[in-house]
Every structure is written in C-alpha cells, then in structure tokens.
A and B are shown apart, each in its own frame.
Chain A
C-alpha cells in the first residue's frame, strides 16, 4: 500500500463551509420561531381572563370588553396567532403597550441602548480580567498566585448579585464618592462613568467561573502533544504562546463566554434595578407588575433574539478560527487507508 492510495482528498471543503453557515442560520431561525410561539402562548396560558388580570376584578365590564377587543381575545386562537405573527414579521412588534399606549417595539428600542451598553461594558471587563487572571493562574500553576486567583473570586460567586451591587455602592459611591449612587450620567464621559459600578457588579458574577474554565483550558493546551512537539523543535517560547496556545484557548473561551452571556443578560436586568438604571430591566419589571402583556412579550422576544444572534455570531467566529468546527463528519484516510 502506498501513501497515495491511503490518502484521499476532500474536494468539498469550501462547499461544506458554506453549508455550515446555512445550517447555523437555520438553527438560529428555528430557535427564534420557537421563542415566538412560546411568547404568544405566554399570555394565553395564564389562568383566567388576561383582560381582567390587567384591569382588576372590579373593573368596568365595558372597559374589559374594550381591552379584550384590543388584545383580540374574542377572536379564534388561529386568527389571533396569525395576527400576532403578522405583526412580528411585518413590524417586529407585539402590539401597543397597555400601560403606555404606544408601540411596545418603540419602547424596547428606546430602553435597549443603555442595557446594551451595560452588557458590552460588563463583557469587556469580564473577558479582559478573566483572560489575565486565568493566564496568570495557569502559568503559575499550584503556586500562591494560582490558589489566590482560584479561591478569592469564589467568595463573590456565592453572593447574590444585588448584594455585591449594594456593597460596591456603599463603598465606592457613598463612602468614597468616586461614582454616582445610581442613575445614568449625561454626556459620553458621564454615561460610561455612571455605568462603571453596575458593569463591575455584573462582571464580578461572571469572572470566577470563566477564570476557572479558562485556566483548565490553558493547562490542557499547554500540556498538549503539539506544544511538546513545538518545544522539541525549539520554536521560541513566545511564539508557542502567542500563536498556538492563545489561539487554541480562544475558541473555547469564546464559546463559554457566549453561553454565559445569556445568564449575564438576566443578571443585568436585576442589576439595573439596584443602580436605578432605566433600561430593559426597568421596562420588564414595570411591564410585569402592570401585567402589560404586549410589552412583556416584546421585551422577552427582543432579549431572546439578541441572545440567539450572539450565539450565531459566536458560532461563525468559532468556525472561522477552528477548521474542525466547519466539518461535522470526520475526514477520509483514516488509518485503515
């Protein structure tokens, strides 16, 4: 048997990379569709009459009827669903907010930027600190630095996020006066400055688990055969680290971060309350306490689509960085040849 028999060529690599993109897109779309359906039934599954829930037991019968009309509750379910879908796909909307009387979509778009800024800010803090800490821990494995990095953050992880928020407020806002106690500052500088404490609070909740997994990843990669081979070939240590170890750690970190991001968004909504930031969190809590169904639906849907979008982008970046992710099936020319 010669080498060329054993070796079969994969001609369709490029084609398959295209396929991968289409599959990822389809998967993301189907998730969005499922969420849309779930959001629709959110309102229909509550026991009793949603209109009564909104207006209260003692509301005027005429008003209740009016709201039922507005929410289309008198129509057959299929017609309601069709209208709901139509509204979403044509206007990206879930109907007017009951409380505010304006498009739920417009409300979401009005409140989203602050939340997005907060999530982005927290993500940057999380990723930068986690990468630095994990790197230090891995390169000083089993030393004092390593133990400190692994043990100290565990304290903050055990606490509820709002508790960490309150501690930070009392230390850095009330006592030291470095940051505002709450609200969002004006101007570019003021805006980011006022978001610092909430962003740090969110990041503190994320960093420990990310550091731990990232440290494991780094250790595993530093121990991999290919690193030994590179060392044996006397490729400079700096090149091995920058080019090989870092790049191999990048993809798992990204994946992990993207999974964490959905938890992070949940945490952000709560933290906004603690710091009196008027974002999606405030909108959602108001909507829930007012039983503002269309608005709850809009917030849920937009948050979900955001998460799906992020994981889609993550997947595409990962596929770009790691050739193994572009192809599902294993290649030819397995040992038997």
Chain B
C-alpha cells in the first residue's frame, strides 16, 4: 500500500538575527490510508512544528527543507492559492485549545459556514443542513441552538466537538490533531478521545494524532513515532515502543507511565492491567 503522506528528511530551522536553531531535524515518517499515526514527545520536542511546516503554516522566520509527499505531490513545493485551497479540503487540522481556536466575534454557525463556502459550491440552505448534520454527528443534541452561540458561550469540550465536526465535514483524507485533548478537563478528554476513535472506525480517515500523553496515544494510534529535541528517536506499534524502545528518553516516558499505572493497579486491586 502506498502511504498517503510520506515525509522525508524534514528539517525546520528558525533564524533569529544571526542565530539559527534547528527545531526539527531529519524527520522521516509516513502515514498510510486509514491508519492513525501517533506522534509522542514532551512539550517543546518539535511535534507542532513538524505538522505546521508540512501544512505551510510557518512564517518567513522559518526555513523548511526536505519532502512531504501527500498523495504523491510535495506539499513543501506548493505555492499557488488554488492548490493550497484544494489541500485545505483534503487535510484538516484540530488544534490544542478549542477555547481560542474560534473567532470570538462570530457565531459558531457562521464559522462552520465559512469552511463550507470556501471549499464547496453549496448554497446557504444546503450549508445550514450540512452544518446541522455534522453537529448531530458529533453527538451535539441541540445543533440549531449551538449554531447561534458565540464561542465564549460554549464549554471547551463542546467547542472541540464542533472543531472536530468541521475537520471531518470536508471528508478529508487526512486529519491532523495536535494535542486535541490537552486543554480539556479529564472527563471530557475521554469523550473527545472516543470521538476520534469513532471517526477512525467509521470513516477510515488517515490521522496524525499528536500528544505528550502515552495513555491517550495508545488508545487511538496504530503506530507511534517518538520525538525528542526535534528528532524522531523511536518508532513502532505501541507494544513495540513499550517493550523495545531504544531511546533512553522514550524508556523514561514509559517507566513513568508504568509507575503511575502500578499505583493505579494497587489502589484498584486489579491483577492485570493494560497500559492504556
């Protein structure tokens, strides 16, 4: 099977004055259709920069080199507005903090409509109908009401549902989620995570799921790469990572996780526990 996204030797440098800092170094990975790739790594390891550079979201201070082939086309070479717009329909992104990811001055409905208007030829009525559909799909019970709300009137979990809804709406072939549960409280985190698992199951969309949380990543990702200081230091299935991680940093992450799980087991009195 051919990968849907194939990243080769990706480098991101940041130039500030005379200083050049290497933020992502020689990263290579690929994502196959229908697969969820987890990117694990602690804060500052270059996870966000990796995906932002692929999507062309970095400003002039950054230099990006390498290859990022999406369905065979190198995203890093794309310049034309039409091409980029096409890509917006094919790849969508969900960011960490849903509270700040909506424009505070526009109603939720307007913000959903904007995406439809940019990427489809649908009329106002059809867009409204489709918007209701995606909100229902995200198990939001009063879609009409939610559409009339402003972002500050909704909770983080609710906003993240809407955001995921928008991401799925264009039926992209790749969804990139950058720590989509990190800014949300623990209980809602689980629901949002379930939502991703469901999307993966139902739509068979390829996904990149970024997290610093081994537990969260183990639940959605089929394969994991571990990043440390801008490099990919380990790769494999969750099992492989847990059992045979070579990188000392990865080992540390796992030991920490195991220790937490150990306590958990003792408290609950369980005998057998999964790492998730």
- Once A236-B118, A247-B105, A323-B105 are accepted as A-B contacts, the answer to whether A334 and B88 lie under 8 Å apart by CB is no
On whether the beta carbons of A331 and B184 are closer than 8 Å, the reply is: no
Within 8 A of B (CB), among A316-337: 321-324, 330-337
CB distance from B108 to the nearest CB of A (A): 11
Which residues of A are found within 8 Å of B29, using beta-carbon distances? none
CB distance from B148 to the nearest CB of A (A): 9
Which among B57, B102, B188 is the interface contact of A335 at CB below 8 angstroms? B188
CB distance from A198 to the nearest CB of B (A): 36
Within 8 A of A (CB), among B82-106: 84-85, 87-89, 92-93, 95, 97, 100-106
Q: Which residue of A lies closest to B183 (CB)?
A: A335
Which among B101, B139, B145 is the interface contact of A229 at CB below 8 angstroms? B101
- Once A225-B95, A226-B102, A233-B93 are accepted as A-B contacts, the answer to whether A324 and B158 lie under 8 Å apart by CB is no
Q: Which residue of A lies closest to B114 (CB)?
A: A235
Which residues of B are found within 8 Å of A324, using beta-carbon distances? 104, 150, 152
Any B CB within 8 A of the CB of A3: yes
CB distance from B133 to the nearest CB of A (A): 15
Which residues of A are found within 8 Å of B156, using beta-carbon distances? 334-335
Any A CB within 8 A of the CB of B28: no
Any A CB within 8 A of the CB of B268: no
State in angstroms the CA–CA spacing of A230 and B112 once bound together: 11
Any A CB within 8 A of the CB of B63: no
On whether the beta carbons of A233 and B157 are closer than 8 Å, the reply is: no
Q: Which residue of B lies closest to A250 (CB)?
A: B105
On whether the beta carbons of A234 and B85 are closer than 8 Å, the reply is: yes
On whether the beta carbons of B88 and A234 are closer than 8 Å, the reply is: yes
Which among A13, A235, A332 is the interface contact of B115 at CB below 8 angstroms? A235
Any A CB within 8 A of the CB of B12: no
CB distance from A102 to the nearest CB of B (A): 50
On whether the beta carbons of B115 and A226 are closer than 8 Å, the reply is: no
Which residues of A are found within 8 Å of B184, using beta-carbon distances? 335
On whether the beta carbons of B158 and A6 are closer than 8 Å, the reply is: yes
CB distance from B109 to the nearest CB of A (A): 13
On whether the beta carbons of A3 and B153 are closer than 8 Å, the reply is: no
Which residues of A are found within 8 Å of B104, using beta-carbon distances? 226, 248, 322-324
Number of B interface residues at 8 Å Cβ cutoff, please give it: 47
Please indicate which of the listed interface residues B87, B149, B163 has the most CB atoms of chain A within 10 Å of its own CB.
B149
Within 8 A of A (CB), among B141-185: 141-142, 145-146, 149-150, 152-158, 161, 163, 166, 184-185
Any B CB within 8 A of the CB of A132: no
On whether the beta carbons of B87 and A234 are closer than 8 Å, the reply is: yes
- Once A235-B115, A337-B155 are accepted as A-B contacts, the answer to whether A226 and B92 lie under 8 Å apart by CB is no
State in angstroms the CA–CA spacing of A291 and B16 once bound together: 62
Any A CB within 8 A of the CB of B267: no
CB distance from B169 to the nearest CB of A (A): 10
Any A CB within 8 A of the CB of B81: yes
On whether the beta carbons of A229 and B95 are closer than 8 Å, the reply is: yes
Which residues of B are found within 8 Å of A229, using beta-carbon distances? 93, 95, 101-102, 163
On whether the beta carbons of B118 and A3 are closer than 8 Å, the reply is: no
On whether the beta carbons of A330 and B152 are closer than 8 Å, the reply is: yes
On whether the beta carbons of A226 and B85 are closer than 8 Å, the reply is: no
State in angstroms the CA–CA spacing of A234 and B142 once bound together: 28
Which residues of A are found within 8 Å of B187, using beta-carbon distances? 1, 336-337
Q: Which residue of B lies closest to A229 (CB)?
A: B101
On whether the beta carbons of B155 and A232 are closer than 8 Å, the reply is: no
CB distance from A327 to the nearest CB of B (A): 8
Which among B87, B95, B138, B158 is the interface contact of A333 at CB below 8 angstroms? B158
Any A CB within 8 A of the CB of B191: yes
Which residues of A are found within 8 Å of B146, using beta-carbon distances? 7
State in angstroms the CA–CA spacing of A330 and B104 once bound together: 13
Which residues of A are found within 8 Å of B89, using beta-carbon distances? 234
State in angstroms the CA–CA spacing of A231 and B95 once bound together: 12
On whether the beta carbons of A4 and B55 are closer than 8 Å, the reply is: no
Within 8 A of B (CB), among A8-36: 9-10, 13
Which residues of A are found within 8 Å of B93, using beta-carbon distances? 229, 232-233
On whether the beta carbons of A337 and B114 are closer than 8 Å, the reply is: no
Any A CB within 8 A of the CB of B14: no
- Once A6-B188, A321-B105 are accepted as A-B contacts, the answer to whether A233 and B166 lie under 8 Å apart by CB is yes
Within 8 A of A (CB), among B115-134: 115, 118-119
On whether the beta carbons of B105 and A322 are closer than 8 Å, the reply is: yes
On whether the beta carbons of B153 and A235 are closer than 8 Å, the reply is: no
State in angstroms the CA–CA spacing of A6 and B185 once bound together: 12
Could you list 8 A-B pairs, sorted by A, with CB under 8 Å? A2-B141, A3-B140, A3-B141, A10-B153, A233-B88, A234-B88, A235-B88, A333-B153
Q: A-B pairs with the 8 shortest C-beta distances?
A: A234-B88, A4-B141, A333-B155, A232-B93, A225-B100, A335-B185, A323-B150, A331-B153
Which residues of A pack against B, CB within 8 Å?
Answer: 1-4, 6-7, 9-10, 13, 224-226, 228-236, 239, 244, 247-248, 321-324, 330-337
**A-B contacts besides A229-B102, A230-B114, 13 pairs, CB < 8 Å:** A2-B139, A3-B138, A3-B157, A6-B158, A9-B142, A225-B100, A231-B57, A234-B89, A248-B105, A323-B152, A330-B152, A335-B184, A337-B155
